[in-house]
Chains A and B, each alone.
Chain A
Amino acid sequence: MAARIARLFVAFALLGIGATVEAQQANPVDTEKELEKYRAMINDPMSNPGYLNVDRGEILWSTQRGAKNVSLETCDLGMGPGQLDGAYARLPRYFADADKVMDLEQRLFWCMQKIQELDTADIVRRRFGAPGRTSDMEDLVAFIANKSSGMKYEAPLAHAKEKEAYAIGEALFYRRSDIMDFSCATCHAEDNRRIRLQGLPNLVKAGKNAQETMGSWPTYRVSQSQTRTMQHRLWDCYRQMRAPEPVYLSDGLTALTLFLVKQGEGGEINVPSIKR
């Protein structure tokens, strides 16, 4: 732990260098190259603060909590009770006991309610970490997703409800609404586009962009000093689209995630990653 904290100081020093490089380079192409170098430097697991979430998540997974005072270790994330290796690479997926397609956060929430009888109102209140407030979900997701690092996303859509969720996710991706008339496709349907200087992945075609995008969530957000999950990513997309706040763990977000995972199928997972 002490060694990890020492390494984190190194990471923060590097983050400072990254910011300076960004400010000095006016040319967007050079900036992108420098940012790539900076990302590579801090991609070391021992320098990425997201691994603090992984550590906390590991403890939370085996902590006895809730009215039943049991841990989450019997929770089935799709690979069998307590089986974590590769589970994230196959989510979202259909769960017969709940009779629905669930992403990792929905499934953890379900296990907290059914297995632990935990106070989930508190879990929802702390769904997104902030200074002085850790998020159990962000910690657990970081820990569990990390158990799929080095593996590849698979979305076989074997169950009828998985096919249905995928189709709903795709339709949501193209659904234009609200005060700006935006859909996901407004920004993510073409190659090499950007908002201001921020590059935008093309997510309407399966392949490299989608693989790299999906393979790097959850991520440690340097600008927010928090590890963020796909639920938060989509929440922030809708925020920037000027839509109202989407309900955390709603089925639409899971459908969108399944669509995106399918687009990124075959992409190698390397998480928690680190982003701006």
Chain B
Amino acid sequence: MKTILSVLALSLGLSGAALAQDQKPKVDAAKLEAITKAMWPKTPQGWEKRISFDETQKLCSQYRNDLPNDLFEKVRARELSTVKFPADGNVIGNWQAGKRIANDGRGGTFTDQPMTNGANCYACHQMDLAELSYGTLGPSLHLYGKNRGFRPEEAKATYAKIYNSMSVMPCSMMPRFGYHGFLTEQQMKDVTALLFDPESPVNK
């Protein structure tokens, strides 16, 4: 009887596992890449450097942004190694310029002419309370610098996060603005100033 029961349990267990696997989507990686290749068969002129599907994107896609611990650390180390700080070590630019850049959502689409890209921070974040049109995909950044005591090391960490968000949080939703060259060094300094200058409306 005991044997029958355990055989029964074993077969139930097996069928249960099979069902669970059945419900999970099974996509052959090669098939998926063939499909995407057919969606974008050729690289548009001028886009050679900006189209990517790098190892980090691949892992974040595969694990749906929830990496196992060992990969988490591996990705973080790899992304951290890409961060380039300004040569003079100063990460604070001009907050007034940063204010314009943060509110500018233009640039970078296939219908845009080549232009200086905006950072579009307000698409996802609350910053200056006077700007009512802000998104909620990211946390509010109001009082960001003040809450961090305007400490230089915090400003530096923030510059690094803007440069490559995944150097802090692998598979972060936030674009890697410096890594991809979407923003210039000066733009990232100006946006850092918007967050860290005591005179910035973000800290009022």
Q: Is the CB of A179 within 8 A of B182?
A: yes
The residue in A172, A196, A239, A251 that gathers the most chain B C-beta atoms within 10 A of its C-beta is: A196
Q: Does any Cβ of B come within 8 Å of A46's Cβ?
A: no
Contacts of B132 in A (CB 8 A): 26, 28, 197
Q: Which listed segment binds A: B68-76, B88-96, B173-181? A: B173-181
Q: Is the CB of B43 within 8 A of A182?
A: no
Question: Closest CB of chain A to B99's CB: distance in Å?
Answer: 16
Q: Which listed segment binds B: A66-74, A117-125, A134-142, A186-194? A: A186-194
Q: Is the CB of A252 within 8 A of B39?
A: yes
Q: Which of A172, A179, A196, A246 contacts B50 (CB 8 A)?
A: A179
Q: Is the CB of A194 within 8 A of B135?
A: yes
Interface positions, chain A 170-207, Cβ under 8 Å from B, are 170-172, 174-183, 185-187, 190, 192-198, 200
Q: Which of B27, B44, B52, B175 contacts A245 (CB 8 A)?
A: B44
Contacts of A242 in B (CB 8 A): 108-109
Question: Closest CB of chain B to A223's CB: distance in Å?
Answer: 14
Count of residues in B whose CB is under 8 Å from the partner chain: 43
A178-B51 CB under 8 A given contacts A243-B40, A253-B39: yes
CA distance A185 to B57 in the complex (A): 13
Count of residues in A whose CB is under 8 Å from the partner chain: 44
Q: Does any Cβ of B come within 8 Å of A250's Cβ?
A: yes
Contacts of A156 in B (CB 8 A): none
Q: Is the CB of B51 within 8 A of A196?
A: no
Q: Is the CB of B27 within 8 A of A194?
A: no
Q: Does any Cβ of B come within 8 Å of A158's Cβ?
A: no
Give B124's nearest chain A residue, CB to CB: A195
Contacts of B44 in A (CB 8 A): 244-245
- The contact string, 1 if C-beta is below 8 Å from chain A, for chain B 27-50, is 100011001101111011001001
Q: Which of B40, B53, B133 contacts A247 (CB 8 A)?
A: B40
Q: Does any Cβ of B come within 8 Å of A167's Cβ?
A: yes
Interface positions, chain A 150-171, Cβ under 8 Å from B, are 164, 166-168, 170-171
Q: Is the CB of A170 within 8 A of B25?
A: yes
CA distance A176 to B66 in the complex (A): 13
Give B131's nearest chain A residue, CB to CB: A196
Contacts of B38 in A (CB 8 A): 247, 250-252
Q: Does any Cβ of B come within 8 Å of A255's Cβ?
A: yes
Q: List 8 A-B contacts (CB under 8 A).
A: A168-B35, A174-B61, A176-B57, A176-B61, A177-B57, A186-B173, A197-B133, A245-B44
- B interface list, Cβ under 8 A from A: 25-27, 31-32, 35-36, 38-41, 43-44, 47, 50-53, 57, 60-61, 64-65, 108-111, 122-124, 132-137, 166, 173, 175-176, 180-182
